[in-house]
Amino acid sequence: MLRRLIAAAALLAAALTAAPAAAAGGPLRDLAEARGIYLGTAVTGDRLTGGYADVAADQFGSLTPGNEMKWDAVEPTRGSHDWSRADRVVAFAEAHGQRVRGHTLVWHNQLPGWLTGGTWTADQLRTLMTDHVTAEAGRYKGRVDHWDVVNEPLAEDGTLRRSVFGATLGESYIADAFRAARAADPTAKLYLNDYSIEAVGAKSDGMYDLVKRLLAQGVPVDGVGFQAHLILGQVPASLEANLRRFADLGVDVAITELDVRTTLPATAEKLDRQKADYASVVRACLAVTRCAGVTVWGFTDSDSWIPDFFPGQGAATLYDEDLYPKPAYDGIAGALAPVTPPAPGVCSVTYAVTQQWAGGYTAQATLRNTGTAPLDGWTVRWSQPAGQRVTQAWNTALTQSGTEVTASHLPYNATLPPGGSAAFGLNGTWSGTNPPPTSLICTSGT
């Protein structure tokens, strides 16, 4: 509480001095949880003090150590582990009720010098790798929600990357790493993670086929992480469909390293575009049931890898260097805003026989949305107690059972704005008399 008050006071002070972008609701972690996903961030462990720590704790429901769990960080000397930096991030997360995405057990970068400088047979390398997975996943057993077990296994064309692991061990190293991770921590969700697989294309096709092969071999792959290091204005149109096709394989999906870089300087117009980009990635995740959450790769521009790796580019995160929320913050908050289902629309219906002849008739019904919210689907029911039979209907899906008639919307006239109406008609037969319907009612809903 105190932490929140201090953060609120800091934000207020910032508002008075520097007019930060208005933060539309929040904290983001609560908005996300209410929508059934987590919103996480990568952090730099030794920055977890002061305002940086406050924002990390207040706004994010999941932390990914940006570098602290990589092999070079945890085993700088062969056989001698240093868990201190990783421990610190995990302890911080636990103290603030946050999940941890473990990143990463097997990757071709940020390997210890003793490993890259050594000469290993395939068997030796395989054993080193599985021992490492066993040691690290075992150390954090039960405390890591998701592990990026293998990071960036693919080349740009979707084939196996010829990394030290791929080139020496072939694809089987992936299965071995996952099996070792499962044995060491049976409850963590185990992910394959890669970049440039957000759109449907050669690389994501390669990932798709790889996941399929691994699942067919019984390899315990629980999820696929889509890093999403994106360029301003280039959120792939196929992102949602791509996430969905992986989910349909029976794995979870997650956005794991989201940032949206731009050339500097970042103008108001660019930041507005960035806001839309962040929002659309979050919306894509929300739209796919098996999307577990979205992690941003650093939350402040002062803690982003972009300027170092792409000279002249930056401003890729949702807070500026002084920890003021940028429009991207509002974009995420807006996408995560609670969905308030519209109040059920209210409808009225009229029915009139428009033509009648010996044994037959035509009737017309008009349904109107008399409420203040859109009507999302409708059904009209009535009784025709004199034995009339409906023989044909248009602009509605109509069934009759005995004396009871049910007429429902079709896809094209399902939604009616307040005040809007839909008409449908029917032909029927009658004998004796053709009295008007009784119990004529309409109800809203699909």
Binding site for ligand 9MR (CB under 6 A): 66-67, 109-110, 151, 195, 227, 257, 305
Based on CB atoms, which residue is closest to ligand 9MR, 269 or 308?
A: 308
Q: Which tokens sit at 93?
A: 């997360």
Q: How far is the CB of 24 from ligand 9MR (least distance, A)?
A: 28
Q: Which tokens sit at 201?
A: 């294309």
Based on CB atoms, which residue is closest to ligand 9MR, 54 or 152?
A: 152
Measured at CB, which residue is nearest to ligand 9MR? 305
Based on CB atoms, which residue is closest to ligand 9MR, 309 or 394?
A: 309
Three-state helix/strand/coil letters over the chain: CHHHHHHHHHHHHHHHHHCCCCCCCCCHHHHHHHCCCEEEEEECHHHCCHHHHHHHHHHCCEEEECCCCCHHHHCCECCECCCHHHHHHHHHHHHCCCEEEEEEEECCCCCCHHHHCCCCCHHHHHHHHHHHHHHHHHHCCCCCCEEEEEECCECCCCCECCCHHHHHHCCHHHHHHHHHHHHHCCCCEEEEEECCCCCCCHHHHHHHHHHHHHHHCCCCCCEEEECCEEECCCCCCCHHHHHHHHHCCCCEEEEEEEEEEEECCCCHHHHHHHHHHHHHHHHHHHHCCCEEEEEECCCEHHHCCHHHHCCCEECCCCECCCCCECHHHHHHHHHHCCCCCCCCCCEEEEEEEEEEECCEEEEEEEEEECCCCCEECEEEEEECCCCCEEEEEECCEEEEECCEEEEECCHHHCEECCCCEEEEEEEEECECECCCCEEEEEEECC
Q: Which tokens sit at 407?
A: 């007429």
Active site residue 198: no
Q: How far is the CB of 229 from ligand 9MR (least distance, A)?
A: 6
Based on CB atoms, which residue is closest to ligand 9MR, 65 or 236?
A: 65
Based on CB atoms, which residue is closest to ligand 9MR, 102 or 428?
A: 102
Answer yes or no: are the C-beta atoms of 366 and 54 closer than 8 Å: no
Q: How far is the CB of 308 from ligand 9MR (least distance, A)?
A: 7
Rounded to 10°, the helix 50-59/84-95 angle is: 60
Distance CA 373, CA 23 (A): 28
Distance CA 200, CA 223 (A): 17
Distance CA 215, CA 222 (A): 9
Q: How far is the CB of 154 from ligand 9MR (least distance, A)?
A: 13
Q: How far is the CB of 152 from ligand 9MR (least distance, A)?
A: 7
Based on CB atoms, which residue is closest to ligand 9MR, 67 or 159?
A: 67
Active-site residue (options: 257, 269, 321, 404): 257
Active-site residue (options: 136, 152, 198, 240): 152
Among 288, 162, 135, 296, CA closest to 223: 288
Q: How far is the CB of 295 from ligand 9MR (least distance, A)?
A: 11
Active site residue 156: no
Based on CB atoms, which residue is closest to ligand 9MR, 281 or 286?
A: 281
Q: How far is the CB of 202 from ligand 9MR (least distance, A)?
A: 19
Based on CB atoms, which residue is closest to ligand 9MR, 110 or 187?
A: 110
Q: How far is the CB of 196 from ligand 9MR (least distance, A)?
A: 11
**Catalytic positions:** 152, 257
